[in-house]
Structure 1
Amino acid sequence: MSQSPTLVSGLEPPYYTAVFTSVRPDHPEGYGETLERMHARVQDVPGFLGYESARTPGGIGITVAYFRDLESLHAWRDDAEHRAAKQYGREHWYERYSVHIGRVEDSYHHER
Structure 2
Amino acid sequence: MSDHSVAPVVPVEAYEPPYYVAVFTAVRTQDQSGYGETNERMEDLVKDIPGYLGMDYAQNPGGLAITVGYFRDAEALAEWRYNAEHRAAQKRGQAEWYESYSLHVAKVERSHGFVRARVPQGPATG
TM category, shorter: over 0.9
2:55 corresponds to: 51
Question: Are 2:11 and 1:11 equivalent residues in the alignment?
Answer: no
Residue 67 of structure 1 and its aligned partner are, at CA, apart by: 0.3
2:29–2:96 Cα contact (<8 Å) kept? no
CA-to-aligned-CA distance 1:70-100 (integer Å, 9 cap, x gap): 1110100000000000000000000000000
Distance in 2 of aligned mates of 1:3 and 1:78: 27
Residue 103 of structure 1 and its aligned partner are, at CA, apart by: 0.4
Residue 39 of structure 1 and its aligned partner are, at CA, apart by: 0.3
RMSD of aligned C-alpha atoms? Answer: 1.7
Closer, same or farther: CA 72–37 of 1 in aligned 2, 3 Å: same
Residue 26 of structure 1 and its aligned partner are, at CA, apart by: 6.5
Number of residue-to-residue matches in the alignment: 111
CA-to-aligned-CA distance 1:22-68 (integer Å, 9 cap, x gap): 01147711111111100000001111000000112221100000001
Unaligned runs of 5+ in 2: 1-5, 117-126
Residue 3 of structure 1 and its aligned partner are, at CA, apart by: 8.4
Distance in 2 of aligned mates of 1:109 and 1:26: 36
TM-score (norm. length: structure 2): 0.83
Distance in 1 of aligned mates of 2:44 and 2:107: 24
TM-score (norm. length: structure 1): 0.93
2:25–2:102 Cα contact (<8 Å) kept? yes
Unaligned runs of 5+ in 1: none
For the pair shown, the structure with the greater C-alpha radius of gyration is: 2
Q: 1:29 aligns with which of 33, 48, 52?
A: 33
Letter in 2 for 1:93: W
Distance in 1 of aligned mates of 2:15 and 2:26: 25
